Amino acid sequence: MKLATMKDIKEALEAIREVNDPFILELEKDERKGAQKLLEAWKKRIEKEEKLHHHFLSMNHYEQIIRKQGYTYIAGIDEVGRGPLAGPVVTAAVILPEDFYLPGIDDSKKLSEKKRELFYEVIQKEAIAIGVGIISPAEIDRINIYQATKKGMLLAINELSQTPDYLLIDAMKLTTPYPSQSLIKGDSKSVSIAAASIIAKVTRDHMMKELHQEYPEYHFATNMGYGTQEHLAALKEYGITIHHRKSFSPVKEMVENN
């Protein structure tokens, strides 16, 4: 073992997953600092992978129970954009295959933009079906944000190319022909809902970045329509756009005062 170069050790560790592997047991005896540093890095990587694996299994818990009841096409449903002053509310419905595995998947708010974009591509590629519902600011003003969210979720379900036979919904109750379950903070508890939250979040972020090209003074590319200080300052200086929600404060007061 002591004759093995650091490069050889590094390459060997790439293929090993078990702590009781003979190579690992021998490497434990290697007194070279470089070897021990590589071993320590490997242990940390394996520990992280194990945590992500177990977290994924815990997030797949509801899906496993539902599949045992005889359901196959489980649609996770979530929304993004209920709170912003501008832009649409975007909903998504995602049906994943039973063998779907994406360690690290979580509520989109807990992921970096880079990780969301990466996971978005994986979900787009591997999902059985994806549906997206987009409700405009004008429609939000007309029927209120709660009803707009429900409408968006129903639209997303209708957009699915595969009819679902069960719905897992993040915190909402929907009237549909399908059996369903509503989970509080479902995007942190269900793989399917987490996938829907990622699709909805990335879709909406892309839309807001496009709006930024048209209205750069509002900084939509960074605030995504939320009421940040720079966004509020821009509202005072430039007024509102057709993409602002007139039923949301302080936009509502600005409309009334004018």
Q: What is the pLDDT confidence band of residue 54, given thresholds at 50, 70 and 90?
A: very high
Q: Is 117 annotated as a binding residue?
A: no
Phi, psi of 135 (to 5 degrees): -115, 125
Q: Which amino acid is at 22?
A: P
Q: What is the pLDDT confidence band of residue 50, given thresholds at 50, 70 and 90?
A: very high
Q: Is 210 annotated as a binding residue?
A: no
Same domain, yes or no: 56 and 143: no
Percent of the chain with pLDDT over 90: 85
111-136 confidence digits (pLDDT tens): 999 999 999 999 999 999 999 999 99
Q: Taking the mean position of all CA atoms in its chain, how far away is CA 35?
A: 38
Same domain, yes or no: 161 and 83: yes
Same domain, yes or no: 16 and 92: no
Which residues lie closer than 8 Å to 101 by C-beta, 6 or more apart? Answer: 56
Dig out the tokens for 161 from the structure: 């190319």
Average pLDDT of every residue of the chain: 95
Same domain, yes or no: 123 and 184: yes
Is 134 domain-assigned? yes
The CATH number given to whatever domain includes residue 171 is 3.30.420.10
Same domain, yes or no: 26 and 122: no
Q: Is 170 annotated as a binding residue?
A: yes
Same domain, yes or no: 51 and 77: no
CB 126 within 8 A of CB 116: no
Same domain, yes or no: 85 and 195: yes
Same domain, yes or no: 197 and 111: yes
Single pTM value for the model? 0.91
Is 220 domain-assigned? no
Same domain, yes or no: 135 and 61: no
Is 223 domain-assigned? no
164-222 confidence digits (pLDDT tens): 999 999 999 999 999 999 999 999 999 999 999 999 999 999 999 999 999 999 999 99
Q: Select from 161, 182, 201 the last residue of a domain.
A: 201
Same domain, yes or no: 130 and 186: yes
Q: Taking residues 26-51, report their average pLDDT.
A: 90
Domain that holds residue 19: 6-67
Same domain, yes or no: 60 and 75: no
Say how many domains are in the chain. Answer: 2
Cβ neighbours around 222 below 10 Å, total: 13
Same domain, yes or no: 160 and 52: no
Q: Is the pLDDT of residue 1 over 50?
A: no
